A and B are shown apart, each in its own frame.
Chain A
């Protein structure tokens, strides 16, 4: 899901970086992260970092990986999850080339912000009916919503950045390619993410109740 450098036009990544910077500034004010919670956030951030590194190549030139976005949002709330995931994405981009530096703003918006907020909102809504279903749905949405945004951002590149002859200057494939090639694998992988979220939360509730008491 991570977009490399050179795929996005400046007209995309400059505003995205500005929006991401604003969201990070907001998160610094709104995230409720006292010292006692930091060990838990660090552990789940580490899980998220490792999960994102193991990408499975998919037909169509894309790859899919778990992200731990729903898990983070459910355990620590959307703003703390957003801040922690932004940090994970920054480490990946700056040190390991997992996702381009110019694409960092889009990743922050898609994965850290939209993923966390959608996962947390869905969790709160579905929890009224079934907590297990809510955890599963949080995992599923936490993976699929970022994939929708990434597919959309990539797919509009030929429309917004092309030369006089209509030749794309950056990512060359339109929405008719990006939506199916990114969405189909992520719709399926969402089930694995949902299952992992459900199992991880249950495991942490049982064995680490003192640390993970937010659920």
Chain B
């Protein structure tokens, strides 16, 4: 009887390493990568650091669509480092607000200056057209 009781007391230990799971719908912060020519950045490794941390909060690989998601646990600037197998990579700083929602992020240099490049090209094109018009009229 004692033996049986002893075995019954030990039964919870059998569940100690059982992996349980829970599936829920949560709003995460999604990051998508692509090269400047729109080619994909799928299955590439990344490391995500919480504000002020040196040990990664999350590591992994981008998915088939070159994206990744994370659920932030604290406010501040999160640092995401992506490493391509061809040696290219990027570091993205993502600001998480006090509601643990996306507050902002570092825009890529190209995106930041795209407006400038397009505007300058347009202005030079317009004046170029004017130049040829004037030249043809002999002014």
- Chain A interface residues toward B at CB < 8 A: 33-35, 38-39, 41-42, 45-46, 49-50, 53, 87-88, 91-92, 95-96
Interface residue range, chain B: 10 to 19
B137 to A, closest residue via Cβ: A35
Residues of A within 8 A of B124 (CB): 42, 46
Q: Pick the contact of B119 from A34, A42, A96 — CB < 8 Å?
A: A96
With contact pairs A35-B135, A35-B139 given, residues A41 and B127 touching in the complex (Cβ less than 8 Å): yes
**For the complex, is B19 an interface residue (Cβ under 8 Å from A)?**
no
Residues of A within 8 A of B119 (CB): 49-50, 53, 91-92, 95-96
Residue interface bits B115-139, CB-to-A below 8 A is 1, else 0:
1101110111011101100110001
Residues of A within 8 A of B127 (CB): 38-39, 41-42, 45
Whether the Cβ atoms of B115 and A96 lie closer than 8 Å is yes
Whether the Cβ atoms of B123 and A42 lie closer than 8 Å is yes
Q: 6 A-B Cβ contacts within 8 A?
A: A42-B128, A46-B123, A50-B116, A87-B126, A91-B123, A96-B115
Whether the Cβ atoms of B131 and A50 lie closer than 8 Å is no
A33 vs B139: C-alpha distance in the bound complex, in angstroms? 9
Residues of A within 8 A of B128 (CB): 42
- Chain B interface residues toward A at CB < 8 A: 115-116, 118-120, 122-124, 126-128, 130-131, 134-135, 139
Nearest-CB distance from A8 to chain B (Å)? 24
A45 to B, closest residue via Cβ: B123
| Dominant secondary structure of chain B at its interface with chain A | helix
Nearest-CB distance from A57 to chain B (Å)? 14
Residues of B within 8 A of A50 (CB): 116, 119-120
With contact pairs A46-B124, A50-B120, A87-B123 given, residues A38 and B115 touching in the complex (Cβ less than 8 Å): no
Residues of B within 8 A of A49 (CB): 119-120, 123
Residues of A within 8 A of B123 (CB): 42, 45-46, 49, 87-88, 91
Nearest-CB distance from A106 to chain B (Å)? 21
A42 vs B123: C-alpha distance in the bound complex, in angstroms? 7
Residues of B within 8 A of A33 (CB): 130, 134
Residues of B within 8 A of A87 (CB): 123, 126
A35 to B, closest residue via Cβ: B134
Nearest-CB distance from A62 to chain B (Å)? 21
Nearest-CB distance from B34 to chain A (Å)? 23
A96 vs B118: C-alpha distance in the bound complex, in angstroms? 10
Whether the Cβ atoms of A38 and B130 lie closer than 8 Å is yes
A38 vs B134: C-alpha distance in the bound complex, in angstroms? 9
Nearest-CB distance from A208 to chain B (Å)? 16
Whether the Cβ atoms of B118 and A95 lie closer than 8 Å is yes
Nearest-CB distance from B116 to chain A (Å)? 6
Residues of A within 8 A of B131 (CB): 35, 38-39
